[in-house]
Amino acid sequence: MNDVQNYERDQGGTLYDPRVREAMTRFAEDDDQLLAFEASAAVRTAYHSVERMRAQGSEGRGVSAGALDLLIRLDARFLITTPGLAESSLQAADVSRVRQVIAFGQARDTVDFADLLLIAPAPLPSLDPSVQPALRVEDGDVLTHEDLIWRMCELDKHVMLEKSDVLLVTWPLTSTLPLTTLIGLALMRGSLVVVAPSLAAQELSATIHDFGVTVLTLLDGAVQRV
């Protein structure tokens, strides 16, 4: 807590540590990735602090509930830790959405941060959306990325999804092309998607009410606003 005066706020009002931001900028490709790195560093710091307090009287019994709650609330996907905390971090990964644990040193079942620094940057593969396969449908036809984007654009002319929409999809999961087109469009627009295949008619009204559904799929394949 003695270092709180070293934190600053950026133009978006986000509190950050200038030293951490300067270090993470070396590895981040854009602002979104930079914020993800900083969030992970913050989780690691908070986790370390909580573990230190817990260790004062807990005799090293596993991961604290507070640390796990922090990981879950932040929806953390990877942890940056030290070899001494690697075992506790791996325990946290087992009961949260963390998928990778990075350690500042060698530790079992973790990625050594030093190894990441040795990875040479590589160019992204060049993809042609007009020929790159994106989806194989039931009849064996293969659609390209360009085909799917065209279908989404045509569908959006009638549906006009927005970020505030809640889409309820009741079509069977075997409807590969319609599902991919509609859900892909919804996610592109930032809409919330609720998938309930073959939803019973008597449950429809309650589902619409509970989730605040604004757009609904119909049995005949149409999509309409509620």
130 vs 14, higher pLDDT: 130
Q: What is the pLDDT of residue 4?
A: 45
| Domains of the chain, first to last | 4-117 (no CATH), 133-225 (3.40.50.980)
pLDDT in tens, 165-188: 999 988 888 778 888 888 888 988
Model confidence at 214, pLDDT cuts 50, 70, 90, reads very high
- Segment 59-85 mean pLDDT: 71
pLDDT in tens, 90-105: 888 887 778 888 888 8
- β-strand partners of 8: 16
Pairing of strands 15-16, 8-9: antiparallel
Question: Is residue 105 helix, strand or coil?
Answer: coil
What is the C-alpha to C-alpha distance for residues 195 and 207, in angstroms, rounded to an integer?
Answer: 11
Question: Is residue 54 helix, strand or coil?
Answer: helix
What is the C-alpha to C-alpha distance for residues 199 and 211, in angstroms, rounded to an integer?
Answer: 14
What is the C-alpha to C-alpha distance for residues 62 and 89, in angstroms, rounded to an integer?
Answer: 9
Using CB atoms within 10 Å of the CB of residue 220, give its burial: 0 to 12 exposed, 13 to 18 middle, 19+ buried.
exposed
Judge whether residue 68 has pLDDT over 80.
no
Judge whether residue 152 has pLDDT over 80.
yes
The structure tokens listed for 149 are 């984007």
CA distances from 177 to 41, 135, 165, 171, 216 (A): 41, 8, 21, 11, 17
Whole-model pTM above 0.85? no
What is the C-alpha to C-alpha distance for residues 59 and 48, in angstroms, rounded to an integer?
Answer: 15
The structure tokens listed for 161 are 């999804």
Judge whether residue 120 has pLDDT over 50.
yes
Q: What is the pLDDT of residue 61?
A: 45
Find out whether 194 and 169 touch, Cβ atoms under 8 Å: yes
Residue 161 contacts by C-beta under 8 Å, 6 or more apart in sequence?
A: 167, 185, 186, 189, 191, 215
